[in-house]
Structure 1
């Protein structure tokens, strides 16, 4: 399921930190992307609920998902990185989780476990002190 997010993301730029010399001080290459989950026209009400629950740690009180990138040297590359990260987060959150199927250990597995326990017990019994009369 692919959702076209770029229309609803609000981008803001700022100066990146870190290395880069003079370039860091004058070029705004860091990009922050804001995506309002509550106001989105692309998502259904059910999808919004799922996203708000699963991405709760990344969403602020207004229901806005914030993603930042400053790994690249150009603003355009960082903007693409923000869109990619946001898409991956939303896609992963909306992915249906597989239900766990309860299983029981097989008879052979139980026998192997019991056999291993008996062997371990014999090893430990062999380590005990021998009594004087034996």
Structure 2
């Protein structure tokens, strides 16, 4: 289990300031008995990308694309963590996931290099076309010379 206060390469650097994060605690199911039914150990972490001063406009656009259905139409990303029985660990998990998402969005997509089919691939394709054409030619009605 990663901890937020460890010196991991992505955690602290890519985590937005606490003032830009909003937490809501929710009930979770799963193991834990009565404790889990009575305490709000799950975490919903919200980050308003559109209002953030932490990110550049390009970074924001990539982040919202990457977030997919975790982002709503107003540009708020919501990450839920409810796998642990501990609220502290769920809070950490949500922050780690947000930091990883932001880090992933920080890298611009690589440019695609144009590629062309190899000579062998072209020959193979043409050979297959000729073969297929020959099969189709044989399907026709017999002519006078046959």
Length-normalised TM-score, structure 2: 0.68
Whether 2:96 is the aligned partner of 1:84: answer yes
- Alignment length, in residue pairs? 132
SS of 1:76's equivalent? helix
Whether 2:84 is the aligned partner of 1:75: answer no
| Runs of 5+ consecutive residues of structure 2 not aligned to the other structure | 1-9
Q: Over aligned residue pairs, what C-alpha RMSD do you find?
A: 3.1
CA deviation after TM superposition for structure 1 residue 16, in Å: 0.8
SS of 2:14's equivalent? coil
Length-normalised TM-score, structure 1: 0.73
| Runs of 5+ consecutive residues of structure 1 not aligned to the other structure | none
CA deviation after TM superposition for structure 1 residue 51, in Å: 3.1
Separation in structure 2 between the aligned mates of residue 125 and residue 41 of structure 1, nearest angstrom: 68
CA deviation after TM superposition for structure 1 residue 40, in Å: 2.2
- Among residues 16, 23, 35, which one is paired with 1:11 in the alignment? 23
1:59 maps to 72
Go from structure 1 to structure 2 and tell me whether the alpha carbon gap of 1:120 and 1:38 turns closer, same or farther (over 3 Å shift).
closer
2:37 maps to 25
Whether 2:115 is the aligned partner of 1:103: answer yes
Separation in structure 1 between the aligned mates of residue 17 and residue 81 of structure 2, nearest angstrom: 15
Separation in structure 2 between the aligned mates of residue 56 and residue 119 of structure 1, nearest angstrom: 46
Separation in structure 2 between the aligned mates of residue 92 and residue 74 of structure 1, nearest angstrom: 27
